Amino acid sequence: MRRAGLRTRVSAAFAVGALALSACVTVMSYELTRSTLLRERERTAVRSTYFDASAVDAGLARRNANVGDVLGSLDIGADRYVLVQRSGRWYARSADTDAHAAVPAALQEKAAGGQAAAQRVDRDGVPAVVVAVPLDEDTVFYEIVTLRELEQTLQLLALVLAAVATMMAAGGAAVGWYVTRHALRPLGWVADAARGIADGDLGTRLDPDTEPDLAPLTASFNHMADELTRRMQRDRRFAADVSHELRSPLQTLAAAVSVVDRRRDGLDERTAAAVGLITDEISRFQELVGDLLELARSDQPAQREATNIVELAARVVRTHRLGDDLVEITAGDDARTWDIDARRIEQALGNLVENAVRYGGGPVAVRVGPGFLEVDDAGPGVPEDLRSSIFDRFVRGPAANARGAGEGTGLGLAIVAEHAAAHGGSVSVTDRPGGGARFRIDLPEYQG
């Protein structure tokens, strides 16, 4: 499983902390409120029971008093039940004859011992207080006071407190999110700077003064960028030096061999064949040096400028001495001016056309679409397993190998891939419907 992000984790920690804290406070205040209210209610119940007990006692003292009638004369609300236990017999108001079932045995015992007592019970899921007041040796007055109202109040309180706790947790998460946003902002700057450098803007540096607490990070980042720039410049200088060092002897070879080549007719057959080989190899060597230098410099950012892509494609086709009618345009009028490095895209497209000429029996279409260029050929196509590696350096497809390693430099498609990548694009090869290969350059950022 993927690990949650730092921000998520910090926010979650804030939420959990806030929840724990508010839960503690909530539970404590709930318990405190509950016990206070219960005690208060119990005291009231005991007081009213004593009052009722004295009324019942007085009623029973009258001659021929009927216990039921005495109880019935009491003024009680819906939440109270009154009972009298006399000589082991229960008396109650006619409406609640079963009420005595709620009187716990322990309380009865206590009352039988002549002691007034109160006990909290649960009556059909509703908490209640049973108060026992002995009237004489074998008569006990009981009053059951249900706490339904209190229970409802406490439920409401619990609900409110739970809501508060939840809100506190959410608030904690929000604070965590907000705080981390501020704390992580410098990392965002670092990310932007790193992206800038990756995109080729080597001058990108972080300002060490904006966030003093992150000075070590900015310092090491800037040091890294300096170092990187220095190395890239050194590599580039090396490429330029190699260019000069290789090109000068090649120039001598090219000029000298042309002198010999001119006199080929006067040479014997074997020498002429050897001269022919040298001439061919020198021109391939020239191509190779050019391609290698192109690759060495390909990490440089694209020099974008507004370019008419249709004209560019037509120029490429003309350079290869192919008909203008080869170019198919599927891009609309608004998608014909591309913001690209014209030289590099021209070379990339040129290499694809060259590839089709050499190994694909010639291109059958050069297509210009919105943000993509395609070159179709009628050759043998590229096998599935070679379709990504064919863009690697010095990798040749079977069609190229069949013609011997003497053809091409093995770098043409690698250059296409590099140029496409320098524009934030990509290159791919698929089967052309109807046979042959379809090479495609995608430039999603073609409109700047």
Residue pointed to by tokens 């706790």: 165
Is 265 a binder of another protein (CB under 8 A)?
no
Is 119 a binder of another protein (CB under 8 A)?
no
**What is the smallest separation between the CB atom of 244 and another protein, expressed in angstroms?**
4
Nearer to another protein, 214 or 257 (CB): 257
Is 278 a binder of another protein (CB under 8 A)?
no
- DSSP string for 209-264: TS-GGGHHHHHHHHHHHHHHHHHHHHHHHHHHHHHHHHHHHHHHHHHHHHHHHHTG
Distances (CA, A) of 442 to 153, 289, 422, 428, 446: 69, 27, 12, 8, 9
Two tokens, residue 186: 């410098």
Report residue 284: phi and psi, to 5°.
-70, -40
Other CB atoms within 10 Å distance of the CB of residue 257: 17
Is 240 a binder of another protein (CB under 8 A)?
yes
Is 252 a binder of another protein (CB under 8 A)?
yes
**What is the smallest separation between the CB atom of 205 and another protein, expressed in angstroms?**
24
The helix (run of H) or strand (run of E) holding residue 80 is strand 80-86
Strand, helix or coil for residue 126: strand
Two tokens, residue 41: 């209610």
Considering only 64-72, 192-200, 223-231, 247-255, which stretch makes contact with another protein by CB under 8 A?
A: 247-255
Is 54 a binder of another protein (CB under 8 A)?
no
Radius of gyration of the chain (CA): 48
Is 200 a binder of another protein (CB under 8 A)?
no
Distance separating alpha carbons of residues 358 and 115, to the nearest angstrom: 116
| Size of the residue set binding another protein (CB under 8 A) | 26
What part of residues 333-392 is at the interface with another protein (CB under 8 A)?
337
**What is the smallest separation between the CB atom of 339 and another protein, expressed in angstroms?**
12
Inter-residue contact 429 to 438 (CB < 8 Å): yes
Is 117 a binder of another protein (CB under 8 A)?
no
Nearer to another protein, 157 or 278 (CB): 278
Distance separating alpha carbons of residues 216 and 402, to the nearest angstrom: 58
**What is the smallest separation between the CB atom of 407 and another protein, expressed in angstroms?**
19
Is 286 a binder of another protein (CB under 8 A)?
yes
Other CB atoms within 10 Å distance of the CB of residue 188: 10
Considering only residues 36, 66, 220, 251, which one is a binding residue for another protein as defined by CB under 8 A? 251
Is 243 a binder of another protein (CB under 8 A)?
yes
Considering only residues 66, 97, 308, 330, which one is a binding residue for another protein as defined by CB under 8 A? 308
Is 255 a binder of another protein (CB under 8 A)?
yes
Two tokens, residue 110: 């206590």
Helices (H) and strands (E) in the chain, counts: 10, 12
Considering only 6-14, 111-119, 245-253, 395-403, which stretch makes contact with another protein by CB under 8 A?
A: 245-253
Is 284 a binder of another protein (CB under 8 A)?
no
Is 244 a binder of another protein (CB under 8 A)?
yes
Distance separating alpha carbons of residues 107 and 133, to the nearest angstrom: 10
**What is the smallest separation between the CB atom of 248 and another protein, expressed in angstroms?**
5
Is 248 a binder of another protein (CB under 8 A)?
yes
**What is the smallest separation between the CB atom of 264 and another protein, expressed in angstroms?**
12
Is 310 a binder of another protein (CB under 8 A)?
no
Q: Would residue 192 be called left, alpha or beta, if left means φ above 0 and alpha means ψ between -120 and 50 degrees?
A: alpha
Two tokens, residue 68: 């039921």
Residues that bind another protein (CB under 8 A): 240, 243-244, 247-256, 258-259, 262, 283, 286, 289, 293, 306, 308, 315, 318-319, 337
